[in-house]
A = this chain, B = another copy of it.
């Protein structure tokens, strides 16, 4: 039976069925989670888990699914940019920076501390135990904002003050993450004799150049696009296409030339168009493209990537502790940052919770670390568990954080929710 399903799926037209299964299951699970007052994105994630190798193994990741899901997250961040009020963003800019810094420092330290308990013996051919343990902290720094963006959108809170702070902090978090990763891999290279200082300088230089590039291009495009679209009163399809092209090119340039995440480029592209007269029209059309094809594939693909590994008892214990540390350190770090910037207690907790989810970046960082001897292979399983659980728990946390009337009841609101 399982073999005959595999035959169907690998047939020439299997991807039609793949796509049908993904669309159907993400919608059904999404409606189910909505029924129990949870965001639909939780259902979409669960659908991927059920379809993927972690459960029934019906759908495999193909090149097609990978590309569509990456375009999906690019479009998601582009529309997040479109919906952002730049004035509001500027106001929360400094706050976002502080939130991001504390949201990197606290998980970094906490990850290091917890890893130091378990990982104490030097291993031949690996970096020093100190660097290895810091590296576990580095993995915990990378927030994945897409889940939070989708959840806030669904709840209509994306343009709230806390929503703005989260998105700003997530973008900065991405930048800080690249720097921290470069520093530690350079340090590991330094142990082996090569000099890493030039690498770090190069990365920081590229990031600075990216922002100069992004600001100039965004301003220029904003001016030209608004002038061009202002010539007609009608909403024309060509506006949507040109905006899409701009979004894709900015995403590509960010990754290819500057080493910055493609979604950061897409977000900037969205920002560039956010104050124009066509922002609503664009948002509407990209929303349709998203919900009909890109988003379901993207959220399902996250679940599709999950393969649950075999683990020893010690590793299971480590996984549980690492998970708790991963969740609490972001809530505490980012929440503290927000509190320092005079956000209310309620908003501080919301911001902390919005930054909890880790995504594929954590997995990519982990693989890179394993490749250069910074991480033992047995720690992959705990990282996978952290990614999966924080991803699924974030929309649930946000749901309650934005619903509760009083911040004191957040912790216990789960029980009283209908």
Contacts and interface: CB of A to CB of B under 8 A. Distances in A.
Given A13-B256, A23-B241, 15 more contacts: A15-B67, A15-B70, A16-B249, A16-B252, A17-B249, A20-B249, A23-B244, A23-B245, A24-B241, A63-B64, A64-B67, A240-B292, A285-B292, A289-B293, A293-B293
A294 to B, nearest CB: 8
A291 interface: yes
How many copies the complex holds: the figure is 2
Contact of A68 (B13, B64, B242): B64
Contact of A23 (B70, B248, B262): B248
Interface in A1-59: 8, 11-17, 19-20, 23-24, 27, 31
A77 B252 CA distance: 32
A251 interface: yes
A288 interface: yes
Nearest to A288: B288
The binding surface of chain A is classed by DSSP as helix
Contact of A248 (B12, B20, B241): B20
A87 interface: no
A74 interface: yes
A252 B251 CA distance: 33
A151 to B, nearest CB: 17
User: Looking at A20, A31, A67, which has the most chain B CB atoms within 10 Å of its CB?
Assistant: A67
A71 interface: yes
B292 A262 contact: no
